[in-house]
Structure 1
Amino acid sequence: MKKLFILLMILAAICFIGVWIYQTQRLKKNAQAPIGKGQVVMNWGLIILFVIGLVGAFVAPRDKTSEPAEHHPANEHATKVSKAQSSSESAAAASSSSSQSASSSSATSSSASSSSSSQLQVDFPTDVSLNKTGDATVSFKAPANTQFEIKDSNNNVVTTLNGNAQGADQTYNFKKPGKYHVTAHNGDQTIDKDLTVRGIGQ
C-alpha cells in the first residue's frame, strides 16, 4: 500500500511539472492566451494527488512482505536459542553447585571421621550405685599413659589417676554419692565425661 502512494506522488509530480512547462511556454509565445478552466482544474487535481501520495507514503502501514516476514522469524529463533543456552548454563551452574556442595559435605564428613578416629577413647560406667558396704569401684579403661582427673560437683579435685605405659585399667573406689566430672588427658588430647554415683539401693 505504501508503494502505491509513493508511485501516485511521483506520477502526480511528473505530470504537474510537464503541465507547468507546457503552460509556461504557451504564455511566452502568446501572453494574451486565456487560461481555461480545464487547465486550472488539472493543476489543482495534480497538486491534490501529489499531497495525497505524500501523506499516504508516511501514514500507510508497511507492506507485509518487508521486514517482519524476513527478520521476525530470525529474531524468534535467536531468542529461543538464547533461552536454551541460558537454561543450559543455569542447569550446568546448579550441577556444579550441587557437586561442590557434595564434595564439601564429603570433605567435612571425612574430616569429622578422621577427627573422631584420632580422638582419645576412654571407657568407664557413667552411672553407678554404692553397694551395701558403702562404696562403688569404677574401672577406667584408656590407652597407655592416660591421666584421669576426677572432680566433685563443687569442682574440687577428688583424685588423680596416672596411667602407665602398659595401658592397664585404672580403678577408683567412690565412697560418696553425687555428681562427678572426669577429665582424661593423653598428650594433647583431652576428653570430658560426667559420672553419677548413686546412694545405696538407688
Structure 2
Amino acid sequence: MNIDFNKNSDGLVPAIIQDATTKRVLMLGYMNEEAFAKTQETQLVTFFSRTKNRLWTKGEESGNVLNLVDIKLDCDNDSLLIQVHPNGPTCHKGSDTCWNEVNSPNYGFFSTLEEVISERVANKDTQKSYVASLFDKGINKVAQKVGEEAVEVVIEAMDSNDELFIYESADLLFHYLLLLQAKGFKLKDIEAELKKRQK
C-alpha cells in the first residue's frame, strides 16, 4: 500500500474508522507510518495521538479495542478507510460513535420505514393511519394481509407486467414489515438468522 505520509508536514494521514458490519462511521483518527505498521502487526487499530504525542492503541485502557478487518486507501493515497469490529463503545465518552450515534444496522429507506411504522403504531390514530388501523384489528388481520399480498406477487410474477409486479412486491414487503413489528421483530432479526445460515 503506497500511502503518502509526506503530503502533510506532520507525517500523518487521516484514518476513518467504520464498522465492517453496520457500515457506521465510528471515529476519525490519525496515523503515521509507525501506527500503520503496528495496526497491521497487532490487528488492533493504533493511531498517533496528537495530544499525547505518541502511539495510541484504541482501547489500551478501556478495553474497547478496534479489531482490524480491512484497510482501504483513497484515490490520492493520503487517507485511509479502516473497517473494524469494535469491542464496545468507540467514543471516550461512552457512546458507540464519536457523533453520539447508536451503532446499529441501517438498511437505508427500509430503516426509515420501520421507524415510521413504529411511530404510527405508537400513536394509535386509527382514523388517519392505515398502519394503526390494521394493527388495531390484531395479528391475525396483519398476517392475513401478508398472505393476500404474497398471492398477488405470485400472480404478477407469472404475468409480463413488470410495473404491476414491482407494485405488488412493494405491498408485500411493506406488509411483511408490519407483520415483523406485530410479532416484536425488526429486519435486523431476519439478518441475524440469515447470517447464521451462511456457509
Which TM-score band (shorter chain)?
Answer: under 0.3
Q: Structure with the greater relative contact order (CA < 8 A, sep ≥ 6): 1 or 2? A: 1
The structure where helix makes up a greater share of residues is: 1
Please report the TM-score for the alignment, with normalisation by the length of structure 1. 0.17
